[in-house]
Chains A and B, each alone.
Chain A
Amino acid sequence: MTGDHQTLALLLFSAFIAVTLGITTWVSRNRHGSAEEFYAGGRLFSPMENGFAIAGDYMSAASFLGISGLIALFGYDGMLYSVGFLVAWLVVLLLVAELVRNCGRFTLADVVAARMAERPVRIAAGTSSVTVSVLYLVAQMVGAGSLVALLLGGTSEAARSWTVIGVGALMVIYVSLGGMRATTWIQIVKAVLLMAGTIALTVLVLVRFHGDFDQLLATAAERSGHGRDFLAPGLRYGGDWTARLDFISLGIALVLGTAGLPHILSRFYTVPTARAARRSVVWSIGLIGSFYLMTIVLGFGAAAIIGPDAVRASNAAGNTAVPLLALDLGGGAGSTGGTVLFAIVAAVAFATILAVVAGITLASSASVAHDLYASLRRRDAHAKQYSEVTVARLAAAGIGAAAIGLGLLARDLNVAFLVGLAFAVAASANLPVLLYSLFWRNFTTRGAVWSVYGGLVPAVLLVVLSPVVSGGPDALFPGVDFHVFPLQNPGVVSIPLGFLAGWVGTVTSAEPPDAAKHAETEVRALTGAGAV
């Protein structure tokens, strides 16, 4: 990498930081520190704004860099991520978005706690939300680190670490000063930038192949050295039955996880009505769907133009395929076009990381302050609202620190794969309790608590005991081996366990289901009566 790349990319990135800090300052100028303002941005965003913000919250660096990289390395098997990440939105649209908007105030736990004994349910749902968020944050941190490694030549460990720390510091500033309003605007700006950058690259790839997608695929297959196998499933997950089961597990986790992600759920509270929430989701499905279609073109484009070997040489996990592709599309290393395009892609990826981490940090600080802190302390404080927001601001700093530490530790794992883990935990711990609360008449407090822990504990435990953490050269701790669970993704086991635990907890519960509370939840969910 030449100095030009670095200078221009850092310049663009500084511009983005300046703009986002400007937004934060402008928004926080006349803040009044209410919980409504901090967690939900005043609830007056329009569906289009919220749709862009949801897309900005969801289309992470893991998608932009990780999925294209996986497609460039493994061909068709990388496409599963694109498909799963999009189809997941149908679960959100059909079963979750409107009902959650109508029933809740700020967090996932609000929806469940409305029907149940509040304290245990809040603590359970808050714990699992924070766990999911921290896992997801780590994935974004790893993405930031590997991007800088590419920018600065890949060897400077110190630069990589400082980037992770810098990203963490910035996200804490955005969230604790600007709350949901600043976070939303940063996500909207980022979604526009990301879409523009992706469209530009996709057009350039297609122009290179004269608009012939068929020829693009044929060239990618040829360059990959695998021939036609590159375009069919099986390269990454086609080995023994363990690998195939892993693939199925990942697929299930992706499609069910989105509806349990706390930072996605909290976005529905920023619009005034359930109908606006639905229309936000329709917007975001349009944006996200076209984005993932383009990542497929970029991934196969990188395989065809750069070749999987060069991609692998730059970063073993494939995270740098798109920046390399941009460099080549602009005219190659050393050319002005290549320098500019590379710098733009790097800056967009940075922007992506910042916007996504801000959203997750906000959601997890809401879980800490609104669910955990509010349940664990005595309810007698006079200035309760003010102190809850203060706790949320402090929690943002704590979560930032935790994410930085773990991000430094996990830096060699593929970011798309790390996101797959976060999704598995979300699908196991958050989705069952949410669906049961909204749709099951006889659901009880014990069922809710069991359902959260019955999904969360197996999911986390299976990840710890999986080959991801120990026992292989690519593991988090390569030196030791305590892996007993063969799959990398725990979803296929832990998601059914979450649903099962909720069912068992409910049927063994001594407490009878509260028909009146169920009626209230159902009426509010479907009509919006009493919604804030």
Chain B
Amino acid sequence: MEKHEGPGAPAVWIDDPWSDALAAGWGESADAEAPGGAGAHATATPGAVPRQQGGRSASDIYLEVQRSPAFQEVRSRYRRFVIPAAIAFLLWYLAYVVAATAAPGLMARPVSGAINVAMLAGLGQFLSTFLLTWAYARHARLRRDRAALELRWDTQEMTRGMQR
């Protein structure tokens, strides 16, 4: 799983063996989606995480990677999606449960035939779950996976010396 041929080598995308569909084919340019926007290809390789050899412990390396802009970018992309999404679906679910107990009159209001508000709200929970799953998987695949994998190889390369 070696990636770096040298500091000047273009960033080669190594496919995860279990991944079939990556950014390609989704109508979005991989370049525009790579971390750090344009020029990511130049920075996502060694430049993003400064690499000096020798004399460091593994925890120094992890601290250094944590402070690197490339990692900060991956983390903020993850959090910017996950935190609002998690708050939104938990609130939507809580609203559903509370409405079912506190406002049964509203929930029992008929909409069409035997279908009432409660039934629609329940099915809406199913629908929103499916949609959010799709959106999250797509966001992670397009916006995060590539940068995370590059950081992984960089970090492992830096820590390799320590472990033996």
Contacts and interface: CB of A to CB of B under 8 A. Distances in A.
Interface of A: 46-47, 76, 79-80, 82-84, 86-87, 89-91, 93-95, 98, 214-215, 217-218, 221, 228-229, 231-234, 237-238, 244-245, 247-248, 251-252, 255, 271-273, 275-276, 278-279, 281-282, 285-286, 289, 292-293, 296, 515-517, 519-520, 522-524, 526-530
A512 B65 CA distance: 22
7 contacts: A76-B100, A90-B85, A247-B100, A255-B93, A272-B17, A523-B66, A529-B159
B118 interface: yes
B89 A90 contact: yes
B133 to A, nearest CB: 5
**Which one of B18, B74, B78, B89 has the greatest number of beta carbons of chain A within 10 Å?**
B18
A218 B113 contact: yes
B159 A530 contact: yes
A289 B132 CA distance: 13
Interface string B11-34: 000001111000000000000000
B18 A522 contact: no
**Which one of B19, B62, B66 has the greatest number of beta carbons of chain A within 10 Å?**
B62
Contacts of B96: 83
Interface of A is mostly: helix
Contacts of A87: 89, 93, 125, 129
Interface of B: 16-19, 58-60, 62-63, 65-66, 71, 74-75, 78, 82, 85-86, 89-90, 93-94, 96-98, 100-102, 104, 107-108, 110, 112-116, 118-119, 122, 125-126, 129-130, 132-133, 136-137, 140-141, 145, 148-149, 151-152, 155-156, 159
B100 A80 contact: yes
B18 A520 contact: no
Query: 4 shortest A-B CB distances, which residue pairs?
Result: A232-B108, A516-B59, A529-B155, A217-B114
Nearest to B113: A214
Interface of B is mostly: helix
Given A281-B133, A530-B156, 13 more contacts: A90-B129, A217-B115, A228-B108, A231-B119, A233-B107, A251-B97, A275-B19, A275-B141, A275-B145, A286-B130, A520-B58, A526-B71, A530-B155
B65 A523 contact: yes
A232 B118 contact: yes
Contacts of A218: 113-114
B115 A214 contact: yes
Contacts of A285: 129-130, 133
A120 B8 CA distance: 48
A47 B137 CA distance: 13
A299 to B, nearest CB: 12
Contacts of A522: 66, 75
A244 to B, nearest CB: 4
Contacts of A248: 97-98, 101
**Which one of A90, A91, A95, A530 has the greatest number of beta carbons of chain B within 10 Å?**
A90
Contact of B62 (A76, A275, A286, A523): A523
A178 B151 CA distance: 37
Contacts of B63: 515-516, 519
B55 to A, nearest CB: 16
Given A47-B18, A527-B155, A530-B156, A83 B122 contact: yes
A513 to B, nearest CB: 13
Contacts of B97: 80, 84, 247-248, 251-252
B129 A275 contact: no
Contact of A527 (B17, B60, B74, B119): B74
Contacts of B130: 285-286, 289
Contacts of B156: 529-530
B86 A94 contact: yes
Contacts of B100: 76, 80, 233-234, 247
Nearest to A517: B59
Nearest to A94: B82
Contacts of A276: 16, 18
Contacts of A244: 101-102
Given A79-B122, A272-B18, A228 B110 contact: yes
A503 B61 CA distance: 29
Contacts of A95: 82, 86
A282 B133 contact: yes
A233 B116 CA distance: 11
A524 B132 CA distance: 25
